[in-house]
């Protein structure tokens, strides 16, 4: 079975072809970073228009890369949510239309299920059950995973997601868009222990997250250092030290909650996925955590951490095999709880 995957939930147009026997046959990705850079963040209308321009050419490129035609495709999978409504509708409309024109089944994929299953694309794939930490610009979730579609939400962010906190804090520090990766890079030059920020919601039971207060604490530190510099620019080392302290607070918080979730469930496998899962400091700390618990940590390769068509094609194939196909109507869900998905038996 071979599936074409289409991802257009935010600011990346991702197209891939996944074959059940051969694996990833084609992987095309276009990032809109340059388009949104002047605005310091994603502009939904511009994102939607750019997906319209790029999706069909990337599908053509993926078919050429895989050396196949529409006749070799057994189904078309597209991200139906969550995400930006306009961007989702581009992928859903194109995907559903292609499936109709090609007389193939269409599959609506949950964006976060795609991320959750991305480590399955690796040679060393996790076995069920496991705990998953999904960390991206829009979501921070801890999930018990007993199978595809068998999800129990253990904890989630009550305000800013981890990736969103990275981006907003980077903007406070004057870093260019996309800020999260730039802040992480700056943090590599920072010295530990000069600044100390809170580890939110770790002093009380539960597995939910909150990062807005951490962002405020960082903003206060920046303001204080600006005053000390006589309202001039904060020196580069101080900025790096603040970035280091912020990143360490986020990483520590995620690690504390992951350990708590693993002990709560009695599981010893941890899957980490989503854009923030590429963070080097986070991977190092979670790998140390799993070693201390005599467990294993699983991650997708970096190119599958951010939004991409490969994870959508893979998730779509699993759903297609179970007969979970879309009716003719085009539907998109900007909000779509992960635990509403049906199980794949």
Which residue(s) pair with 245 in the sheet?
none
Annotated binding-site residues for substrate read 134-138, 167, 180, 279
**CA nearest 8: which of 37, 66, 50, 61?**
50
Residues tagged in the binding site annotation:
111, 115, 134-138, 167, 180, 279, 307
**pLDDT by residue (tens digit) across 284-304?**
999 999 999 999 999 999 999
The CATH number of the domain covering residues in 129-299: 3.30.420.40
Share of the chain above pLDDT 70, in %: 100
Delimiting residues of CATH 3.30.420.40 domain(s) in the chain: 2-117+304-340, 129-299
Residues pairing with 27 in the sheet: 16
Alpha-helical runs (H) found in 67-127 = 85-102, 111-117
- The CATH superfamily assigned to 2-117+304-340 is ATPase, nucleotide binding domain (3.30.420.40)
Residue 233 is predicted with a pLDDT of: 78
The pLDDT, as a whole number, for residue 230 is 78
Q: Is the dihedral of CA 96, 308, 248, 251 positive or negative?
A: positive
pLDDT of 19 reads 98
Q: Which two tokens stand for residue 156?
A: 């989630």
Q: What distance lies between CA 2 and its chain's CA centroid?
A: 24
The residues, ordered by sequence, that sit 6+ positions from 263 with a Cβ below 8 Å of its Cβ are none
* pLDDT at residue number 232: 72
Mean pLDDT across the stretch 75-88?
Answer: 98
Portion of the chain with pLDDT greater than 90, in percent: 94
| DSSP at 157 | B
Binding residues for Fe cation: 111, 115, 307
Q: Residue 71's pLDDT is what? A: 98
The yes-or-no verdict on residue 53 having pLDDT over 90 is: yes
**Per-residue pLDDT tens for 192-233?**
989 999 999 999 899 999 999 999 999 999 999 998 887 777
Closest CA to 276 of 268, 264, 265, 286: 286
Region 100-117: mean pLDDT is: 98
Mean pLDDT (the chain, rounded): 96
Structure tokens belonging to residue 92: 């859903």
Q: How confident is the model over 134-189, as pLDDT tens digits?
A: 999 889 999 999 999 999 999 999 999 999 999 999 999 999 989 999 999 999 99
DSSP 226-288: HHHTTTSPPPHHHHHHHHHHHHHHHHHHHHHHHHHHHHHHT--EEEEESGGGG-HHHHHHHHH
Q: Mean pLDDT across the stretch 251-256?
A: 98
Please give the pLDDT value at position 165: 94
Helices and strands counted in the chain (H then E): 10, 10
Q: Is the pLDDT of residue 20 over 90?
A: yes
Q: Which helix (H) or strand (E) holds 333?
A: none
* pLDDT for the residue numbered 129: 98
């Amino acid at each position: 079975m071979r599936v074409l995957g289409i991802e257009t939930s935010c600011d990346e147009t991702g197209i891939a072809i996944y074959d059940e026997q051969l694996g990833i046959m084609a992987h095309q990705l276009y990032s809109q970073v340059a388009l949104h850079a002047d605005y310091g963040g994603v502009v939904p209308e511009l994102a939607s228009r750019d997906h319209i321009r790029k999706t069909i050419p990337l599908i053509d490129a993926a078919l050429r890369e895989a050396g196949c035609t529409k006749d070799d495709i057994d189904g078309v999978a597209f991200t139906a949510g969550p995400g930006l409504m306009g961007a989702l509708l581009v992928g859903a409309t194109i995907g559903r239309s292609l499936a109709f024109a090609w007389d193939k089944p269409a599959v609506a994929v949950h964006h976060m299920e795609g991320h959750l299953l991305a480590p399955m694309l690796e040679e060393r794939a996790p076995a069920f059950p496991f705990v998953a930490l999904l960390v991206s610009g829009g979501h921070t979730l801890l999930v018990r995973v007993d199978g595809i579609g068998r999800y129990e939400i253990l904890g989630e962010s009550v305000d800013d997601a981890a990736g969103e906190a990275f981006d907003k804090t980077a903007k406070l520090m004057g870093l260019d868009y996309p800020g999260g990766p730039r802040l992480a890079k700056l943090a590599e030059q920072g010295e530990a222990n000069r600044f100390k920020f809170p580890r939110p919601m770790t002093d009380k039971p539960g597995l939910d997250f909150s990062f807005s207060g951490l962002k405020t604490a960082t903003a206060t530190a920046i303001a204080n250092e600006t005053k000390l510099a006589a309202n001039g620019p904060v020196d580069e080392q101080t900025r790096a030290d603040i970035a280091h302290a912020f990143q360490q607070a986020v990483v520590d918080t995620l690690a504390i909650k992951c350990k708590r979730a693993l002990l709560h469930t009695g599981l010893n496998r941890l899957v980490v996925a989503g854009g923030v899962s590429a963070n080097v400091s986070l991977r190092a700390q979670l790998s140390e955590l799993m070693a201390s618990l005599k467990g294993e940590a699983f991650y997708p390769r970096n190119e599958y951490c951010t939004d991409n068509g490969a994870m959508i094609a893979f998730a779509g194939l699993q759903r297609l095999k179970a007969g979970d196909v879309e009716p003719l109507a085009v539907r998109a869900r900007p909000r779509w709880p992960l635990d509403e998905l049906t199980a794949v038996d």
